[in-house]
Amino acid sequence: MDEILIRFENLKDKNPLKALHLIKQALIQDPKNFDYLVSLATHFSKINEIEKALIYFEKAQRVAAFDDHTTFAYAITLMKDGQYKLAIKQFNKLNDVFPESYYNSALCYVRMNDLKKAVLEAENLDKHEMLGRESLRLIIDIYNFSRDSVKLKSALNKYKVKYGDDDYYHLISGRDAYLKSNFLEVVYHFSRIKEEENEQNMYLNEYAFSLCKIKRFDKAVLVYQEIIEKGQPTEYVLYEYIEVLFQLNRFHDVLDVLKKYKSIIKNKEKIHEIEAKVRYKLELE
């Protein structure tokens, strides 16, 4: 390997300014050095300075044809720049060499809103040991987004057979059931999500609401408490939480919630209305 490139590779993370100065000085001496141009282009692409990356890729392209690794790096850069058609054209050259090219092409088609072609690209990875799972998840996400319930159900069943009923399976199945107002099914799926392994906590609102719909107020309270503990609750969530506390006759807890989150509940008339209802209930006890 060229000594300049070795020094550049060693320096670019520790001292990027010095690394860039080194290779740019080398290019002044040898402006058509293909390896220098590609290394600089790839570096700029990785740090998301895409305009600069494309300039150096195009300079390198005028010097010599790209090998497979350079073509892949160029395709990724085009993809980052939103030049999806050109990126797909480059990825298509590499399908047999880098199977992830199929996946990246699928993502390009998604961003072009050509979901049918995105699915066709992702399906090429169906039997791939490493990428099969991610490609099927992408297909499921596409069907979920497009609300194609029949194909979504089929893809989810296929996923369950191949990869098991993991958090992802239950999350997508639960959200699909929620959109169909199948609240019992929602509760079934969401109750099986291992929260410590699942970063998508948006489902908790839907979980709590579904529990209320099937009158599992005791469990709903726990889920609302978890939502509140995970961050600042919305006014709407607090109203729902208060309503559940009412259902369980936990009137003192309602007053505590109103006091603790009075800065979030902006509707002061609503606060007075709730407080009046609570005092009335307490007087009856």
pLDDT digits (tens, 9 = 90+) for 4-30: 888 878 777 878 788 888 888 888 888
Q: Which residues of 38-57 are buried (b: 16+ CB within 10 A; e: fewer)?
A: bbbbbbbbeeeebeebbebb
Confidence of residue 284 (pLDDT cuts 50, 70, 90): low
* C-alpha span between 226 and 205 (Å, rounded): 10
Q: Which residues of 58-80 are buried (b: 16+ CB within 10 A; e: fewer)?
A: ebbbeeeebeeebbbbbbbbbbe
Q: Is the predicted pLDDT of residue 196 greater than 70, yes or no? A: no
Cβ atoms of 31 and 24 within 8 Å: the answer is no
Neighbour-count burial of 280, counting CB atoms closer than 10 A to its CB (0-12 exposed, 13-18 middle, 19+ buried): exposed
Confidence of residue 170 (pLDDT cuts 50, 70, 90): very high
Q: Is the predicted pLDDT of residue 201 greater than 70, yes or no? A: no
Residue 47 Cα distances to 13, 62, 231, 247, angstroms: 11, 23, 32, 54
Q: What is the mean pLDDT of the chain?
A: 90
The pairs formed by 84-92 with CB atoms below 8 angstroms and a separation of 24 or more are: 84/108, 84/109, 84/111, 84/112, 85/112
Give the predicted TM-score (pTM) of the model: 0.83
DSSP 151-171: HHHHHHHHHHHHH-S-HHHHH
pLDDT digits (tens, 9 = 90+) for 226-259: 888 887 788 889 989 999 998 898 988 988 888 8
pLDDT digits (tens, 9 = 90+) for 66-111: 999 999 999 999 999 999 999 999 999 999 999 999 999 999 999 9
Neighbour-count burial of 125, counting CB atoms closer than 10 A to its CB (0-12 exposed, 13-18 middle, 19+ buried): buried
Confidence of residue 200 (pLDDT cuts 50, 70, 90): low
Rounded to a whole number, what is the largest CA-CA distance in the chain?
Answer: 91
For tokens 């880098």, what's the residue? 98
Q: Return the minimum-mean-pLDDT range out of 34-38, 121-125, 156-160, 184-188.
A: 34-38
